[in-house]
Structure 1
Amino acid sequence: MLLRDFFIQLSENELLNSTAKKYGPKLGAQSVIAGTTIEETIASIKELNTHNISCTIDNLGEFVSSEIEATQAKEQILAVIEAIHENAVDAHISLKPSHLGLDIDVDFCYDNLYEIVEKAAAYDIFVNFDMENYDRLQTSFDMVEELAKTFDNVGTVIQAYFYRAKDDIEKFKNQRLRIVKGAYKEPVEIAFQDKLDIDLNFIELIEYHLLNGKFTSIATHDHNVIAHVKRFVADNNIPNDKFEFQMLYGFRTDMQKALAKEGYNFCVYVPFGEDWYGYFMRRLAERPQNINLVTKKVFTKKTNTVLAVAAGAFVLGRLTKRNK
């Protein structure tokens, strides 16, 4: 738990985020992101598609505090949607409302989201609303619910560590949902703290939506969970077109290809852009063992010992001081 909290604190450090953005290539960021440009990302997606693996694309962004930044993020996502269509790749969009202005003005954010969903709908492209910390949760759900009144290409994420998750999955059972464990630090009043409790709720949510929901995206790198789901869908005669497994870009790639080869729907969460540091720290907070799952060393041999201690915080700190 201490290690998890530490990684979350690193993800929220603006100085480390900005330094990582500058030094991403030196730190091996290409191991955890599909590219820094749309063109690089589309090339990565085309390669994944050759293995019958679909993708969900996340335009990374942290600490959006102005309408200009949010508008730039919107324009980038609209360009990604256009690129998906023009290149005819098997991919859809994942986005965070905070990246589109949620912390600035709710109506402004909703207008940005509406424009994105509308354009995606015109190309029959799905848009998934990633959920963030608890303070943003209900407002984000409200916007998903409102957009779903007009569009049928929106879905969202249910985080298993929240006590309210069972109520939320019931409410949104008629939508495509991604089920995750959760990657933010939340207090005991609203969220499970024990890994076993989170794991048990995660399985319960997956089973509920597989039996009652529209489509289930099971986001996990845990082979035990995957084996459980395989048995569950077989025992309950749930067809493969009702669910998919999801993993992060660059993690357990052999298992990704194996599951796709077995005939399961498989989707890779594909982040791109320079704002990779907060994203990666939250992945380590979710599961510190993820350090060992990256296909290539995230850091070079020269800095690998640093990764074991602070996932690059020390290296970034030194780079920051050196350039003051």
Structure 2
Amino acid sequence: MLKDVFMALSKNQLLTSAAKKYGLKLGAQTVVAGTNVEDTIKSIRELNALGISATVDNLGEFVFERSEALKAKESILEVIEAIQANGVDAHISLKPTQLGLDIDYDFCYENLYEIVAAASKYDMHINLDMEDYGHLQPSFDLIDTLSKEFSNVGTVIQAYFYRAQDDIEKYKDMRLRIVKGAYKESVEHAYQTKQEIDANYIKLIEYHLLNGKFTSIATHDHNVINHVKKFVEDNQISNDKFEFQMLYGFRKDMQVDLAKEGYNFCTYVPFGDDWYGYFMRRLAERPQNLNLVVKQVFNKRTNTAIGVFAGAFALSQLVSKKKK
């Protein structure tokens, strides 16, 4: 039920629009590294100083106007150049829908091609984030075409999909981020229970650690992390074959501790003002994330569940006052 609520909030256009205007007042900087490239580079430097690399996401998705997709492309190209110019340890994560997948497949491919080509000059990795089931196969099609010419592309495998095992076997020679999945999917395509998803998640991680090129294990779950630590030790898997990933602003102490222990660690660094839907989906993906960051984002004096709804209410109130 809680997951459904967060997913509904993530799609609320009124709240999303308000978040763009009032995000910093509500503490969005806790989960967003910056609203511009300069601030984002500064945040990456701070992570690098702790021995942590970054994958940078220009927030925004489900774009239906060519002008918006082109603007997003230019923003990503700007970040690529800024990463190179500043010598920070970072690469790019992006969503095909932000670059026009819902507008025209060829248009999206052209935008992606330009980005991947620009990053390739600097040997910089580009990760295509996966979205909901309706965009899954077209996104893999984009990967298939791009990988014929470029070696600096990778993607995401979502453990809640039944097809995930087939996908991870097909793309085992590619750098992959393995996640549980953050969208609401039907029983026709995806596992529904936490137990099923968690079991498949571990299975996929172990498969790619043993057979894949490089594995990014994206989780805040210390039980999964401890399982992976033991698995790589038991199977003599080198640390240079994998990394742990967490979201910016989540479990900061654990991020630093894992880096200090000698594990490769990468923080998913979102920037921009389109943060609200992204954040709500992170809570839908794993409601336990409430205990990690929501108190900081909304109201330290409220409990976590109330804090989320207080944040949504605050946004709606700000909109109402603005209209008056």
Contact preservation (8 Å) 2:159, 2:204: yes
Distance 1:238 1:71 in 2: 42
Distance 2:276 2:294 in 1: 17
Matches within 5 A, 1:123-134: 123-134=122-133
Q: Which amino acid aligns with 2:145?
A: E
Give aligned-pair identity as a percent.
71
Contact preservation (8 Å) 2:294, 2:308: no
1:188 and 2:187 correspond: yes
1:266 and 2:272 correspond: no
Q: 1:308 Cα shift?
A: 3.6
Distance 1:225 1:159 in 2: 15
Equivalent position of 1:204 in the other structure = 203
Equivalent position of 1:73 in the other structure = 72
Q: Deviations over 1:50-75 (max 9, x none)?
A: 11100000000144210000000000
SS of 2:278 mapped into structure 1? helix
Computed over aligned residues only, the root mean square deviation of the Cα atoms, in angstroms, reads: 1.4
Distance 1:239 1:24 in 2: 41
SS of 1:42 mapped into structure 2? helix
Equivalent position of 1:48 in the other structure = 47
More off after superposition, 287-296 vs 163-172: 287-296
Q: 1:108 Cα shift?
A: 0.2
Equivalent position of 1:160 in the other structure = 159
Contact preservation (8 Å) 1:60, 1:275: yes
Q: Deviations over 1:110-158 (max 9, x none)?
A: 0000000000000110000000000000000000111000000000000
Equivalent position of 1:243 in the other structure = 242
Contact preservation (8 Å) 2:214, 2:242: yes
Equivalent position of 1:94 in the other structure = 93
Equivalent position of 2:31 in the other structure = 32
Distance 2:302 2:70 in 1: 36
Q: 1:14 Cα shift?
A: 1.3
Shift of the 305–215 alpha-carbon distance from structure 1 to 2, 3 Å rule, reads: closer
Equivalent position of 1:121 in the other structure = 120
Q: Deviations over 1:12-43 (max 9, x none)?
A: 11111001111101110000000001000000
Shift of the 122–214 alpha-carbon distance from structure 1 to 2, 3 Å rule, reads: same
Distance 2:33 2:64 in 1: 25
Contact preservation (8 Å) 2:62, 2:102: no
Contact preservation (8 Å) 1:175, 1:214: yes
Q: Which amino acid aligns with 1:214?
A: K
Matches within 5 A, 1:289-308: 289-294=288-293, 297-301=296-300, 307-308=306-307
More off after superposition, 124-133 vs 288-297: 288-297
SS of 1:125 mapped into structure 2? coil
Distance 2:295 2:302 in 1: 14
SS of 1:55 mapped into structure 2? strand
Distance 2:305 2:258 in 1: 33
Distance 2:211 2:180 in 1: 20
Equivalent position of 1:17 in the other structure = 16
Q: Which amino acid aligns with 1:3?
A: L
SS of 1:113 mapped into structure 2? helix
Contact preservation (8 Å) 1:306, 1:312: no
Q: Return structure 1 stretches of 4+ with deviation > 3 angstroms.
A: 300-309
Q: Which amino acid aligns with 2:56?
A: I
Distance 2:130 2:13 in 1: 20
Shift of the 231–217 alpha-carbon distance from structure 1 to 2, 3 Å rule, reads: same
Distance 2:305 2:210 in 1: 44
Unpaired runs of 5+ residues, structure 2, are none
SS of 1:312 mapped into structure 2? helix
Distance 1:62 1:210 in 2: 30
Distance 1:29 1:303 in 2: 17
TM-score, with structure 2 as normaliser: 0.97
SS of 1:19 mapped into structure 2? helix
Contact preservation (8 Å) 1:250, 1:295: no
Distance 2:60 2:100 in 1: 11
Matches within 5 A, 1:103-122: 103-122=102-121
TM-score, with structure 1 as normaliser: 0.97
Unpaired runs of 5+ residues, structure 1, are none
More off after superposition, 123-132 vs 295-304: 295-304
Contact preservation (8 Å) 2:56, 2:268: yes
Distance 2:213 2:294 in 1: 33
Q: Deviations over 1:85-128 (max 9, x none)?
A: 00010000000000000000100000000000000000110000
Q: Which amino acid aligns with 2:179?
A: V
Q: Which amino acid aligns with 1:143?
A: L
Equivalent position of 1:283 in the other structure = 282
Equivalent position of 2:219 in the other structure = 220
Shift of the 153–119 alpha-carbon distance from structure 1 to 2, 3 Å rule, reads: same
Q: Which amino acid aligns with 2:72?
A: A
Equivalent position of 1:5 in the other structure = 4
